[in-house]
Amino acid sequence: MKSLVILISGRGSNMRALLEARLPVRVAAVISNNPEAAGLEIAKMYDVETGIVDHRTYPDRAAFDIALARKIDFYRPSLVALAGFMRMLGDGFVNRYKGKIMNVHPSLLPSFPGLGTHERALEEGVRIHGCTVHFVTPRMDHGPIIVQAAVRVLPDDTNETLAARVLQQEHRIYPEAVHLFMEGRLKLSGSHVEVSNFISDNLVLYSPELHK
C-alpha cells in the first residue's frame, strides 16, 4: 500500500479531512514544525504516528530543511501533503520531492498567492473565489494545478464567512487529489497536470452553489 506523510503547523483541519476520507493509503506520519500544533493531538486520536521538527531549533532554513527531509525520508512516503504547513521550504527541499509533494491553497491560483487571500479577494471585488490543490514547486503557490473548487462571493461576506465556505471545499478536493495521485492517475506534463480516465463528476471543479 502506498504511504502518505502529512506536514502541519496548526490545527490540522485539512489533515483531519485526509484522515477521515479513509483513502486507500497508509498515513505513515504527521509531522509538524510546531510542537504545540493542535493537529498533533488529532493525529494521535486516529492512531497516526507523529513527529516534530521544530524550526526554531535550527540556525537557518537550510538546516531545518535537511532535518525535515531526513525525518520524512525515514517513512519513505509515496507523497508528502502540506496541510496548513506555514514554513517556506527551500528549492533543494522542494526539488527533492518533485512531483511528490502537494499543497492546498485558499484561492483560485494563480490569483492571490501567499497570505490574506480572502481579505484580498474581498478588496478586489471578485465574484468567484475558491481553493486549489497543486504540486509544490520552488515558486511559491505557482505549481501545476491538480483540481480547483469555486464558491460565489456574496455581497455580505466577511473574511470569516468566505473563509469558512472555502475551507469546506478544501476539505472536499484535497482528499480527491491525493486519491488520484495514489491511483496513478495524475501525470505532470510541463506545467500542466493530466488526469487519466477523467470523469467530471469525480472532480470538484466548481462548487455546486455556483449552479443554483
Non-local CB neighbours of 27 within 8 Å, separated by 6+ positions: 3, 4, 5, 6, 18, 19, 46, 48
The amino acid at 2: K
Q: Considering the candidates 105, 118, 129, 134, report the single residue annotated as catalytic.
A: 105
105 assigned to active site: yes
The cell numbers describing 171, all together, are: 476539505
E strands, 23-160, are: 26-32, 50-52, 79-82, 101-105, 128-135, 145-152
Residues belonging to the active site: 105
